[in-house]
Amino acid sequence: MKTKTAIKYGSITGLVIMVSWVVSFFIWGGVHFPGGELFGYAVMLLAFSTVFIAVRNKKLATEGGISFKEGFTTGLGIVVVATLIYSLGWTFVYMPNFEPDFVDRYETLQIERVNLQDISEQEKSSQISEIRNFNESYRKPYIMAAFNVLEIFPVGLLVALISALILKRKR
């Protein structure tokens, strides 16, 4: 894996995702609109097409093709860079500048969903307490950044694995 390739394609991936946040903010008022989660993961998959492109370009540049390991490490480098951009961008750019009340709005939505459930008041109270405790933790930048890594990294890892499998040298 070349660091230059990881930075180039990882930056493109991260920036595509960050642009999607801003676009969704101006179109739907934020990232939590009906279908927003599906939209977010679809954008991640589309943005991670850079992994496939980079691995394919590396394969074409070498006459003998590339091994699974070479393809996977190239893809993994891109995923790591994109994950860092995604996590830091969400935590320190998007949230404070576009949706500083995100956690409060999301908490309200979660509590509304609990209150609509056909469960005892004690169970509702317990779930609401868990929601509030989690969201209080999520407000801490290092916790938020960690959850963002867990959100995007598995998607990119899957794309890197599939790309390496598809493009590896045939024996």
For position 31, what pLDDT does the model report? 64
pLDDT at 171 over 60: no
Rounded-to-integer distance, Cα 136 and Cα 114, Å:
18
**Average of pLDDT values for 38-48?**
92
pLDDT at 34 over 80: no
**Average of pLDDT values for 155-171?**
91
Burial label, 72 (beta-carbon count in 10 A; 0-12, 13-18, 19+):
buried
Q: Is the model more confident about 90 or about 170?
A: 90
CB of 107 within 8 A of CB of 131? yes
Domain positions in the chain: 3-94+140-167
Question: In sequence order, which residues have a C-beta less than 8 Å from that of residue 12 and are 6 or more positions away?
Answer: 47, 50
For position 156, what pLDDT does the model report? 97
Q: What's the CA angle centered on 59, arms 56 and 64, to 5 degrees?
A: 155
89-108 in b/e form (b: 16+ CB < 10 A) is: bbbeebbeeebeebbeebbe
**Average of pLDDT values for 126-133?**
96
- Whole-number average pLDDT of the chain: 91
At 6 the three-state DSSP class reads helix
Rounded-to-integer distance, Cα 68 and Cα 61, Å:
15
At 48 the three-state DSSP class reads coil
pLDDT tens, position by position, 132-144: 999 999 999 999 9
Using 50, 70 and 90 to split pLDDT, how confident is the model at 70?
Answer: very high
pLDDT tens, position by position, 77-96: 999 999 999 999 999 999 99
Residue with tokens 């860092």: 84
For position 8, what pLDDT does the model report? 96
Q: What are phi and psi of 66, to 5 degrees?
A: -130, 155
